[in-house]
Structure 1
Amino acid sequence: MRVSVFTEPHRGASYDDQLRFARLVEAAGFEGFLRADHYQSMGADPGLPGPTDAWLTLAALARETTRIRLGTLVTSATFRLPGPLAVMVAQVDQMSGGRIELGIGAGWFEREHRSYGIPFPAVGERFDRLAEQLEVITGLWRTPVGGSYTFTGDHYRLVDAPALPKPVQVPGPPIIVGGRGPKRTPDLAARYADEFNMPFKSVDETAEAYERVREACDRVGRAESGRAPLVLSAGIVVAIGRTDAEAERRAAPLHVASALPPESPVIGSPAELVERIGEFAAIGATRVHLRLIDLADLDHLELIGSEVLPQLDGDQ
């Protein structure tokens, strides 16, 4: 089982906080450090000291780490134009020596768009834009050096783009598409993604999502096209401790009202987290993203590294 750590700096974390955390993620033996791409906290707390830009942060971390994979869960298609985003991700992939992953979604949190003056169209248009962004980004990365890329869609138009720079990873950094959507999300994952992620839901709900995406892969002929099978991953909200009291203290932020949909956290002992990861493995997951709430709680990260990772099979 591949194990990465997922963080939410919009809850309140400076770049230095994230750097300290990412370095410990690397030292503790995790596979990767992925972060949310949000400009505002979902609750009433403003998340001091305020937001940090995901790709600016990852570019800096790319130069401050040597092994861990780095990426977003997930970049919102409403935040950036697809051409500049392809350039940005390719450059950070170069800066990291080929360790970047692009998680990308349609966007959902209206309040942060309104706060920062970002257009927030209806959900149907957001998914249309996401589909075009995936087409453009993968098209730019796959265009041979010396060639050019042209695209005409309903929302984006590129004419003779030089399709540079190229990422280190060929044909491009792994793309992660995920979510709870029953129709368009599985289809987009089957067509464009390298990994499908079901975030923070129960094992049963995740199994249903995996079945939907497997059916979508069959519909679009993914196997016949020669594409590699989708990596199936699960997000797990984690609050564990050496004692029940320690676990409950770490879980306290989960009980505060927010705009997030209902989740299925693991609150308890390291053994309970190992058991949950095993349940996800049994339904086909080969990767988990552990969402840790407090980036200042380095002991939580060290506990998982010392008590959970050694009990899991496979490279981290």
Structure 2
Amino acid sequence: MDLGIHYANFSHPQWETRLADRLTGTARIADEGGVALFTVMDHYFQMEMLGGPPEPMLEGYTTLGYLAGVTERIDLGLLVTGVTYRHPGLLAKIVTTLDVLSRGRAWLNIGAAWYDREHEGLGVPYPPTAERFERLEETLRIVRQMWSDDDGPFEGEHYRLAETVNVPQPTRDRVPVLIGGTGERKTLRLVAQYADACNIFAGDDPAEMAHKLEVLRGHCDDVGRDYDEIRKTILYMNDPLADADAFLKAMESYAGLGVSLVATMPPTDDPEAWTTSLVSDVVPRLRDL
């Protein structure tokens, strides 16, 4: 099993002067220590559970572009891009640029968006839930077309593109697409139809994950997709270092369900030291699962 680090909180001590240094140091330690994926959030405002708008938040793709320049091996993505934040044609261009300049390390991790306060705060339209999912599906179709030989028009209900030109193309056939979320009727159906990976919140009990994966398997059967083609990833909400043995035991159960990557969040005021311990004490044992 691979490990990912989700760097969600920038409010460490003296962040006003040390934010960039801590982020850089954490990413480099992860890169050199065998962590597979480094993600930040796609928000304009910090989430209210982490202090809300008064707390620092960096723009996601600008941050990933910077991290591409200070790392060499680790994959990079947002967990997850909100479909409402960028026009899909521009999104495909942005992610392609990240992939080219990072030499093939970009992921497009995407979801239907949810944080109404930040949309209203900065004047970004926030459609109703049903429309956001319609826009998500059209966006998935658009990026797939832009990462293909078809540079013709796209005509959807919400988006109309006269030319889906995208030069240069990604370094691979297309950037891997991950859809985040657990909705059984819409989100997991979109995973089955369009995604290379899913991401689901997880704790120490894998029973809920097992249920979600059975739902995903059913959607795959419905659309004629090979369930085993889809990479299963989780965002683990607890600190692995609080009890590394218990964490690894839980991950062994998740690995048995087919989960191949677990992302974790630095919970401390010193993310560099936390990451150093993680790559020393957890990553080698996790790889054996």
The TM-score normalised by the length of structure 2 is: 0.91
Structure 1 residue aligned with 2:6 = 6
Partner amino acid, structure 2, of 1:184: K
CA contact (8 A) 1:87 1:165 kept: no
CA distance in 1 between partners of 2:44 and 2:147 (Å):
27
Structure 2 residue aligned with 1:198 = 200
Structure 2 residue aligned with 1:23 = 28
Structure 1 residue aligned with 2:60 = 54
Q: CA deviation at 1:39?
A: 1.6
CA distance in 2 between partners of 1:74 and 1:295 (Å):
23
> Do the aligned partners of residues 89 and 228 (structure 1) sit closer, same or farther apart at CA in structure 2, a change above 3 Å counting?
farther
Tell me the alpha carbon deviations over residues 6-62 of structure 1, each in whole angstroms, 9 at most, x when there is no partner: 121465663443222111111222112111111222227246662211101111111
CA contact (8 A) 1:11 1:46 kept: no
> Do the aligned partners of residues 80 and 114 (structure 1) sit closer, same or farther apart at CA in structure 2, a change above 3 Å counting?
same
Gap regions ≥5 residues in structure 1: 242-267
Partner amino acid, structure 2, of 1:312: L
1:73 aligned to which of 65, 75, 79:
79
Tell me the alpha carbon deviations over residues 212-264 of structure 1, each in whole angstroms, 9 at most, x when there is no partner: 111111111113xxx971011111023254xxxxxxxxxxxxxxxxxxxxxxx
Structure 2 residue aligned with 1:292 = 266
RMSD of Structure 2 on Structure 1 (CA): 2.1
CA distance in 2 between partners of 1:36 and 1:10 (Å):
11
Gap regions ≥5 residues in structure 2: none
CA contact (8 A) 2:145 2:151 kept: no
> Do the aligned partners of residues 294 and 81 (structure 1) sit closer, same or farther apart at CA in structure 2, a change above 3 Å counting?
farther
Structure 2 residue aligned with 1:149 = 152
Tell me the alpha carbon deviations over residues 104-163 of structure 1, each in whole angstroms, 9 at most, x when there is no partner: 000011111111111111100000000000000111011x2xx52311111000112323
> Do the aligned partners of residues 3 and 199 (structure 1) sit closer, same or farther apart at CA in structure 2, a change above 3 Å counting?
same
CA contact (8 A) 2:182 2:200 kept: yes
Structure 2 residue aligned with 1:38 = 43
CA distance in 2 between partners of 1:229 and 1:128 (Å):
24
Q: Secondary structure at the match of 1:280?
A: helix
Structure 2 residue aligned with 1:187 = 189
Structure 1 residue aligned with 2:239 = 239
CA contact (8 A) 1:132 1:153 kept: yes
CA distance in 2 between partners of 1:57 and 1:104 (Å):
16
Structure 2 residue aligned with 1:90 = 96
- Number of paired residues? 282
1:105 aligned to which of 111, 118, 121:
111
The TM-score normalised by the length of structure 1 is: 0.83
CA contact (8 A) 1:7 1:36 kept: yes
> Do the aligned partners of residues 186 and 46 (structure 1) sit closer, same or farther apart at CA in structure 2, a change above 3 Å counting?
closer
CA distance in 2 between partners of 1:221 and 1:30 (Å):
33
CA distance in 2 between partners of 1:101 and 1:204 (Å):
27
CA distance in 2 between partners of 1:220 and 1:269 (Å):
41
CA distance in 1 between partners of 2:146 and 2:268 (Å):
37
Partner amino acid, structure 2, of 1:3: L
CA contact (8 A) 1:273 1:308 kept: no
CA contact (8 A) 1:140 1:164 kept: no
Partner amino acid, structure 2, of 1:137: V
Q: CA deviation at 1:277?
A: 1.1
Tell me the alpha carbon deviations over residues 184-227 of structure 1, each in whole angstroms, 9 at most, x when there is no partner: 1111101111001112354111111111111111111113xxx9
> Do the aligned partners of residues 131 and 121 (structure 1) sit closer, same or farther apart at CA in structure 2, a change above 3 Å counting?
same
> Do the aligned partners of residues 269 and 314 (structure 1) sit closer, same or farther apart at CA in structure 2, a change above 3 Å counting?
closer
Q: Equivalent pairs: percent with the same residue?
A: 31
> Do the aligned partners of residues 87 and 183 (structure 1) sit closer, same or farther apart at CA in structure 2, a change above 3 Å counting?
same
> Do the aligned partners of residues 312 and 53 (structure 1) sit closer, same or farther apart at CA in structure 2, a change above 3 Å counting?
same
Structure 2 residue aligned with 1:216 = 219
CA contact (8 A) 1:15 1:57 kept: no
